[in-house]
A = this chain, B = another copy of it.
């Protein structure tokens, strides 16, 4: 009688209900679903039929507790209030999801802010986690270690630590090359619209660019660096727009390096309004996160491909390996590539 209501939502059927109704043990029902041990044809059919009748589906949580595995990978990613996931983040997530689902893992997004109260420390039901934008001396790294949860960073740990796994671009080398390219093309002064100052990528990239100028004997003050600010700038495009509006004519740069394609879009708009021809009078190079976008604007953007998707996929692969063997440590650098299109031209 009780069963009659099981699929009306009053009470969800459990393995016990199925076992009793089918006249077998719970272990047998379990085996029918998990296929971990062979069950006779007849019993299998009876169990499946009863299960269907009762609307029974195995409880994932109970199963996870028993086998001590959730088959879920956590993606720790702060969500900005201003709603904008960057193209970079999106591609990255895409890479993570693709790789995880290939291996049967689901992905849990946890954007919840970190809490200091230890009794509030958010523990996710995951077998491992991928963490974006680790902070300096990030306390979470040791915490995950204590919890026995495999961890892979996207972005390098600061300070360096040979025991933590991560994937990253070679950000210093990236801007070193961009800088070299600009210098080779006669640009001796550049405006760098960099990422937010508290990100490790921002300092790495600034370093590389300065290096390039130093290498070619240029004075350091030829590089004008600005940083995105969540407080001041309402969006990436607005950042690019405002920056060029304020700086053009103030400093004598002939090229702009934009942190993302969207920043570059803002720069382009400002240039249009100022009547500045790109790339005739001003060159632009974007540190790209959106390959399609870069090719569809006019002029097409010369940009650096960061391969966000590969970063995500690689992080997921390492994590999956690590979930099978906690002792694995792997640190990967994903190549970047400068793609010449139309927005950057030799200074004549």
Chain A positions within 8 Å of B, measured between CB atoms, are 7, 9, 11-12, 32-33, 35, 48, 51-52, 55, 57-62, 64-65, 70, 72, 79, 83, 85, 90-91, 93-94, 97-98, 101, 104, 106-112, 118-119, 121, 123-125, 143, 145-148, 235, 237, 262, 265-266, 268-269, 272, 292-293, 296-298, 309, 326
CB-CB < 8 A to A55: which residues of B? 146-147
Q: Are A79 and B98 in contact (CB under 8 A)?
A: yes
Give the complex CA separation of A292 and B241 in angstroms.
Answer: 13
Which chain B residue has the least Cβ–Cβ distance from A147? B57
CB-CB < 8 A to A90: which residues of B? 85, 90
Q: Select A51's contact among B94, B118, B143, B266, beta carbons within 8 Å.
A: B118
Give the complex CA separation of A237 and B146 in angstroms.
Answer: 47
Q: Are A59 and B108 in contact (CB under 8 A)?
A: no
Which chain B residue has the least Cβ–Cβ distance from A75? B109
Distance between A102 CB and nearest chain B CB, rounded to angstroms? 10
Which chain B residue has the least Cβ–Cβ distance from A269? B296
CB-CB < 8 A to A61: which residues of B? 61, 64-65, 70, 125
Distance between A237 CB and nearest chain B CB, rounded to angstroms? 6
| Given A7-B146, A269-B296, A326-B9, residue A64 in contact with residue B125 (CB < 8 A) | yes
Give the complex CA separation of A270 and B236 in angstroms.
Answer: 28
Distance between A124 CB and nearest chain B CB, rounded to angstroms? 6
Most B Cβ at <10 Å: residue of A48, A72, A94, A148: A148
Q: Are B296 and A48 in contact (CB under 8 A)?
A: no
CB-CB < 8 A to A235: which residues of B? 292
CB-CB < 8 A to A93: which residues of B? 85
Give the complex CA separation of A265 and B296 in angstroms.
Answer: 7
Give the complex CA separation of A52 and B117 in angstroms.
Answer: 12
Give the complex CA separation of A121 and B51 in angstroms.
Answer: 13
Distance between A141 CB and nearest chain B CB, rounded to angstroms? 13
Give the complex CA separation of A247 and B113 in angstroms.
Answer: 51
CB-CB < 8 A to A85: which residues of B? 90, 93-94
Which chain B residue has the least Cβ–Cβ distance from A6? B146
Please give the count of copies of this chain that the complex contains.
2
- Some 18 contacts from A to B, beta carbons below 8 A apart, are A57-B146, A58-B123, A59-B65, A60-B123, A61-B61, A61-B64, A61-B65, A65-B65, A72-B108, A79-B101, A83-B91, A85-B93, A109-B109, A262-B296, A266-B296, A272-B298, A296-B297, A298-B298
Q: Are A237 and B112 in contact (CB under 8 A)?
A: no
Give the complex CA separation of A61 and B94 in angstroms.
Answer: 26
CB-CB < 8 A to A83: which residues of B? 91, 94, 98, 309
Give the complex CA separation of A117 and B48 in angstroms.
Answer: 11
Give the complex CA separation of A17 and B143 in angstroms.
Answer: 18
Q: Are A35 and B237 in contact (CB under 8 A)?
A: no
Q: Are A119 and B60 in contact (CB under 8 A)?
A: no
Q: Select A109's contact among B7, B107, B145, beta carbons within 8 Å.
A: B107
Distance between A312 CB and nearest chain B CB, rounded to angstroms? 10
Q: Are A119 and B48 in contact (CB under 8 A)?
A: yes
Distance between A282 CB and nearest chain B CB, rounded to angstroms? 17
Most B Cβ at <10 Å: residue of A12, A72, A146: A146
- Extra A-B contacts (5), CB below 8 Å, given A70-B125, A106-B108: A33-B119, A57-B123, A62-B65, A79-B101, A265-B296
